């Protein structure tokens, strides 16, 4: 398997380079026991060091284990961040100044794909600058047919006044599946209010049991126009007569004889799902989804909510660390939304550009909120923090020390949250 991946990476490296070079190999002498996290104890495993090394080692030990990979790579902005964000090549060839960034991302994305389960998903944050180049890389690595979609994420109200004519208020979340086996869980449908409850769970009333439209006449299906009996006080419905209960036929408001949605046998089996109003109108109860009591809807492709704005993330970092010691954090709610919509409640999530460990914080909150049991693998660089950076002045020496500090912060709040660091 390793040789196949080596040659895949080499082929792609040559395709996306001006000079056709390839320098990728696995070091087969690596100790294969590298990855042994006790998941019965830990919620998070953090690998310190270059993520390419950690990804290679993880692949050599445990391929195909990840359900969801979320990454927020350096966007190549050339800013003076806590981490290096300047990977620009001379502007030659088709890829212009983007070649170096693509070469950096390429082997990491190929290995990330190998680490995913067949049903696995990858979601990548990116802005306009590298978006087209990332899309091309992803199409080549994951396959165009596995492109799930691109979500526009609003990151501020007024935008960064970065260009002369436009204030950019958005970035992207690019989503691919490893294969066509992917079935995303979907966004929780917060617009839906389930205001009633019975022994079968929370429900709402929104659909008539009388059929409407084409084929709805009694003459269309006479056997589906049987009488029902309704308790107008409690809302209960029965197929058999009960003393004191109202007999109801599927007549519409104009007195036309129509039919029910189900035949008599199905109605008997599922009569608990029917509800009668005080006027004897029969409805079908619409129950909330089983998981977390929430109904789900397809993920929408524009996310615009103040809880997802960058400002929110900055406030979170300041409240955790006392000052803004990390330049480009994501808001906890943003990563919670991704994880909740794109992975099951027992998923293993990988973030190999972990930064201030927001992904771990999001997992912790989701697990606490709805009794989920997601686990997470983080990777972060152990490079030294520039000595003119505010994090250095605050006592942090390596970038990964910031990730570790966030994990400790969560553990100090709640001792049940456990993590292990692999240096
Ligand atoms: C945009 S930040 C991620 C921020 C993160 N989502 C958060 O909420 O804090 C990118 C991170 O990737 C890390 N990084 C860049 N190159 C890396 C490498 N080769 N190995 C490991 N981490 C790397 C940087 O140090 C930086 O912390």
Tell me the pLDDT tens digit for each residue of 334-374: 999 999 999 999 999 999 999 999 999 999 999 987 788 99
Q: Which of 316, 357, 380, 384 to mutate to test the pocket of ligand 1 (most atoms within 8 A of CB)?
A: 380
pLDDT at 191: 65
CB of residue 379 inside a 6 A radius of ligand 1: yes
pLDDT at 29: 75
Q: Which CATH superfamily is domain 2-189+294-422 in?
A: Vaccinia Virus protein VP39 (3.40.50.150)
74/81 Cα distance (integer angstroms): 10
Give the DSSP H/E element, type plus range, for residue 113: helix 99-115
Say how many Å lie between the CA of residue 191 and the centre of ligand 1: 35
236/230 Cα distance (integer angstroms): 6
User: Residues spanned by CATH 3.40.50.150 within the chain?
Assistant: 2-189+294-422
The residues, ordered by sequence, that sit 6+ positions from 189 with a Cβ below 8 Å of its Cβ are 294, 295, 296, 297
282/280 Cα distance (integer angstroms): 6
Which stretches of the chain drop beneath a pLDDT of 70?
30-34, 161-162, 190-192, 288-294
pLDDT at 294: 65
Say how many Å lie between the CA of residue 72 and the centre of ligand 1: 7
CB of residue 83 inside a 6 A radius of ligand 1: yes
In this structure, the residue with its CA closest to atom 19 of ligand 1 is: 50
pLDDT at 149: 97
CB of residue 51 inside a 6 A radius of ligand 1: yes
Say how many Å lie between the CA of residue 85 and the centre of ligand 1: 10
| Rounded alpha-carbon distances, angstroms, from residue 365 to 40, 333, 339, 361, 373 | 18, 9, 11, 6, 11
The DSSP letter of residue 420 is: E
């Amino acid at each position: 398997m390793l040789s196949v991946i080596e040659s895949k990476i080499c082929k792609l490296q040559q395709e996306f380079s001006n000079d056709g070079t390839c320098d990728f190999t696995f070091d087969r002498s690596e100790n294969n026991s590298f990855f042994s996290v006790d998941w019965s104890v830990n919620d998070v495993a953090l690998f310190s060091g270059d993520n390419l090394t950690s990804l290679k080692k993880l692949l050599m030990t445990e391929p195909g284990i990840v359900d969801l990979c979320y990454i927020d790579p350096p966007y190549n902005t050339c800013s003076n961040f806590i981490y290096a964000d300047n990977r620009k090549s001379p502007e030659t060839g088709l890829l212009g100044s983007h070649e170096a960034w693509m070469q950096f991302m390429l082997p990491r994305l190929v290995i990330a794909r190998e680490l995913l389960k067949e049903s696995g998903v990858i979601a990548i944050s990116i802005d306009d600058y590298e978006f087209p180049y990332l899309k091309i890389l992803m199409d080549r690595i994951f396959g165009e047919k596995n492109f799930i979609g691109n979500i526009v994420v609003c990151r501020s109200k007024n935008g960064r006044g970065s260009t002369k004519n436009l204030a950019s208020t958005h970035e992207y979340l690019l989503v691919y599946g490893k294969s066509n086996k992917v079935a995303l869980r979907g966004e929780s449908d917060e617009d839906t209010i389930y205001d009633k409850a019975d022994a079968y769970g929370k429900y709402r009333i929104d659909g008539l049991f009388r059929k409407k439209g084409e084929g709805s006449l009694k003459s269309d299906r006479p056997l589906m126009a049987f009488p029902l009996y309704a308790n107008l006080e409690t809302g209960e419905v029965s197929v058999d007569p009960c003393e004191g209960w109202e007999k109801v036929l599927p007549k519409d408001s104009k007195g036309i004889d129509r039919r029910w949605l189900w035949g008599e046998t199905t109605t008997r089996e599922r009569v608990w799902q029917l509800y009668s109003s005080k006027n004897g109108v029969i409805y079908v109860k619409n129950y909330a989804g089983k998981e977390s009591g929430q109904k789900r809807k397809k993920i929408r492709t524009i996310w615009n909510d103040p809880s997802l704005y960058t400002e929110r993330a900055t406030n979170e970092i300041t409240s955790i660390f006392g000052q803004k010691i990390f330049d480009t954090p994501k808001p906890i709610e943003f990563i919670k939304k991704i994880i909740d919509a794109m992975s099951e409640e027992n998923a293993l999530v990988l973030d190999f550009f972990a930064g201030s460990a927001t992904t771990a914080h999001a997992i912790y909150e989701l697990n606490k909120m709805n009794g989920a049991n997601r686990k997470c693998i983080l990777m972060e660089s152990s490079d030294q923090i520039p000595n003119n950076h505010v994090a250095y002045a605050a006592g942090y020496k390596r970038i990964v020390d910031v990730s570790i500090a966030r994990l400790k912060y969560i553990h100090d709040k709640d001792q049940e949250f456990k993590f292990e660091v692999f240096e």
